[in-house]
Structure 1
Amino acid sequence: MDRLQAMAIFLAVVEEGGFASAARKLELSAPMATRAVSELENAMGVRLLTRTTRVVRVTETGARYANDCRRILADVAESEEAAAGSHGEVRGRLVVTASSVFGPMRVTPIVTEYLRRYPEAEVECRFVDRVVNMIDEGVDVAVRIGPLQDSAYQARCVGRVRRVVCASPCYVARHGAPSSPADLVDHTVVMANGITPSVDWRFVVGDQATVVRVRPRMTVSSNEAAIGAALAGFGLTRVVSYMVDDHLASGRLVEVLRDHESVPLPVHVLHHEGRHAARKVRAFVDLASQSLRDDRLLHWQADARMAHGD
C-alpha cells in the first residue's frame, strides 16, 4: 500500500479511536485499515497501537508518529494545492475551541465572518470549559485566557482581561461594599466552578500579593448562573471582565475591590502547526487576531508596552 495512504489511515484510526470508525470515515473496509497499520508497524519495526478485543490505544511511539503524519500529510496537501494553482484558496474543515462563555460571545462572530469570506471552508466550534489537548483532539485553533501552560504552540497575544468582583446595587445598599479582600468573610459569595475552580481568590494589598480563602454560600456550574445570582441581589461573585462589561456599564452591577485586583490575564490565539500551518489555519488566525485586538473589552488599561508577538 502507498505509504502516504497508510499514514492517513493510521492517523484516522488514532483520531477516531478504532479501526471500524476510521474505516467508515475513509470509506474503506475494516480489514484494509488493519492491514495498513500492520504494514507501517512491520516496515518500521515498532508498535504504533495496542489492540485488545475492546479498545485500541496509541503507544507513546505511535503518538509521536501520529504528529509527524499529521504534519507530513498537511505539507503534501499544501504542496499539491500550490502545484495545482490553488495555493491562495481557503478551503476545508477547521476545528476551533474556546471557553463556553468567551466562545459564543467573542469567537462566534469571527467564525461567521470567516465563513462569509471563504465559501469553501467549514468550521466546527467546540466551546467547553476545559483545556483541550489540541493535537490529541484534532483542534486547529484555540482562543485561551490566562497564562499558557504549553510553550509548544504558536501563540499570538491579542489582549488581556481582568478578574472582577461585583454585586448588584441593592446588595451593596443592604450589606455595604468590602473595603479590603479580608472583608469578604462577612459577605455572601457566589462562586462558579470554571476550568480551574478554587476557593482561593488572589488579590493585591499594597504592593503585596495576598490570597483570601472564600466560603461560598452558593456554588454553580457556570459563570452565567453566578452572574444571574449577583444580578438578583443574592451576593458577590467574581468573573472575568468581558462577561459583565454590559452590566457594569448599565449599572445593573457594581464593581468592588477594584484597587486590589491581581494582574490582568492574557488572551492568546493558538495553533500548533508553526510555519507549516495550512492556509485555512493561517487565514483564521489572522482574522481572529485582528478582530480580538480591535475588541475594546480585551484591552483593560492596555499600553504601548503590551506585546503582540506571533
Structure 2
Amino acid sequence: MDTNKLIPLLSEMAVFVQVVESGSFSAAATKLGVAPSSISRSIARLEGALEEKLLERTTRQMRLSATGQQVFNLCRDMLSAAKLAVSAAQVDKATVSGSLRVAAPKAWSRQVLMPHILDFSAAYSQVELQLKVADHYIDPIGDEVDVIIHITESPVAGLIAKPLGSCKLVLCASPSYLAQHGELTHPSELTKHNCIRLGEDPKDCIWEFLRHEEKLPIGIRGSFAVNHSELRREAMLRGMGITVLPEFAIRDYIESGEAVELLPEWRLLGRYQGQVVAQYAQSKYIPSQIKIFIEFLQNRLAQLSV
C-alpha cells in the first residue's frame, strides 16, 4: 500500500487501538467523544482497506482475530511513537504549554495541593491543566493521566517516581475531650474512649500500633464514623472523641493548641501514609509541562516542611 492510501488510515488505526483497549465500541466512542456509529464506520473502513477481519463480534462480546492481534500490536506501537513525537516537540519549548492531566487523592488535594496547583495554573496559563481527584488507584496509561500523585509506601514499579514529601497518621483529640475523659498513656486505654473512625471497612474498627518490635491491634468503638478527614477533624475539635488523621490534616491545629497528638512514641499502621510521590510513565522525551509542574510542587512543598 502506497503512502497516499496509507495516510487516511492512520486515524482509523488509532480508533482501532482505542476500541481494543476500551473493550467495546461504545466505551471507545465515549472516550473519543464521538457516536458509536462513527467508531463502527472507522473499523469497517480499516478492515476494508486491509481486506482482513480484525474484530470478531457478537451481541455480547468482542475479540481480536489472529490477524487483528498482529495489526493491533503494530498500531499500538504506531500510536506510542506518535505520542513520543509530540513529547519531543514539546520538551524544548521556551514557553511551557500543552495539556497536563493530574490525578491526586481527595483529602490531600483539598488540604495541601489546591493552592499550589492554582498558583501553577496562574503562572503557566498556556498549560491546559486538568485535575482528577480520587482515592482509588489511577492507571496513568489506561486512565489517560500524565501524572499521578499518591501517598504510598510502595510506589508503582515501572513508573518514574519523584518525591514530594511524606505523611504519617496521627492519633489526636481536643484538650476539652482530654480534660473530661483523661489522658492516654497506652493504646489499650482506647477501649474506654469514644473513637471517631473512618467507617469504610470492618477493619476500620481496629487501630494497629507499632513500637519497636511490638505490634498491637486495638479494637475501638465510637458514636460517629465518617469517611471524610475534614469532618472527622471537626468532630474531634468539638470534643466528640479521639480520631486518626493524616498529618497534613491536623498539623496546624496541633501547633495552635486546638488539638493534641496522643501517644507519639507509637506508630500508627494503616492506609493513607508513607511517601507522597508524583509518578509518570517512562519515556525518552518527558514533556516540559510535566517536568516544570513537578519541580514547582517540589519547591513549594519543600518550603512548607522547613
| CA distance in structure 2 between the aligned counterparts of 1:145 and 1:196, rounded to whole angstroms | 22
Quote the residue 2:290 is aligned against.
281
| AA of the residue aligned to 1:281 | I
The CA distance in 1 between the partners of 2:41 and 2:99, in whole Å, is 25
- The residue aligned with 1:78 is 87
Cα distance, 1:194 vs structure 2: 6.5
Correspondence for 1:104: 110
Counterpart of 1:258? 264
The alpha-carbon distance between structure 1 residues 188 and 91, as it changes in their structure 2 partners (threshold 3 A), is: same
- The Cα of 1:97 is off from its aligned counterpart by 1.2
Q: Tell me how far 1:213 sits from its aligned partner.
A: 3.0
Q: Is the 8 A contact 2:103 2:145 kept in 1?
A: yes
Contact 1:166/1:256 (CA < 8 Å) preserved in 2?
A: yes
Please name the residue that 2:281 is paired with: 272
TM-score normalised by the chain length of structure 1: 0.77
- 1:220 corresponds to: 226
CA distance in 1, matches of 2:197, 2:182: 19
Change (3 A) 1:177 1:11: farther
Instruction: Report the CA distance shift for 1:119/1:113 in structure 2 as closer, same or farther (over 3 A).
Output: same
Aligned to 1:276, the other structure's residue is in SS state: coil
Deviates further, 218-227 or 280-289: 280-289
What is the deviation of 1:248? 1.2
Q: 1:163 aligns with which of 155, 165, 169?
A: 169
Query: 1:302 corresponds to which residue?
Result: none
| Offset, 1:258 | 1.0
Q: Which runs of 5+ in 2 are unaligned?
A: 1-5
> Superposed, which structure 2 residues align to 1:78-227 within 5 Å?
78-80=87-89, 87-148=93-154, 150-193=156-199, 198-227=204-233
Give per-residue Cα distances to partners, 1:126-163, cap 9 Å, x unaligned.
11222222221111112111212521211012221221
**TM-score (structure 2 length as normaliser):** 0.78
Distance 1:58 1:148 in 2: 35
How many angstroms does 1:211 deviate by?
Answer: 2.6
Contact 1:161 1:266 (C-alpha < 8 Å) held by counterparts: yes
Which letter does structure 1 place at the counterpart of 2:291?
R
Which 4+ runs in 1 deviate beyond 6 A? 39-43, 54-59, 61-67, 194-197
Aligned 8 A contact 1:194 1:222 in 2: no
- Could you tell me which runs of 5 or more consecutive residues in structure 1 were left unpaired when the two chains were aligned: 300-310
Q: Is this contact kept in 2: 1:181–1:212, CA < 8 A?
A: yes
Q: Check whether the contact 1:100–1:127 (CA below 8 A) recurs between aligned residues.
A: yes
> Take 1:57 and 1:220, find their aligned partners in 2: how far apart are those partners?
43
CA distance in 1, matches of 2:168, 2:33: 46
Letter in 1 for 2:124: Y
CA distance in 1, matches of 2:253, 2:10: 54
Superposition RMSD in Å: 3.7
Aligned residues: 290
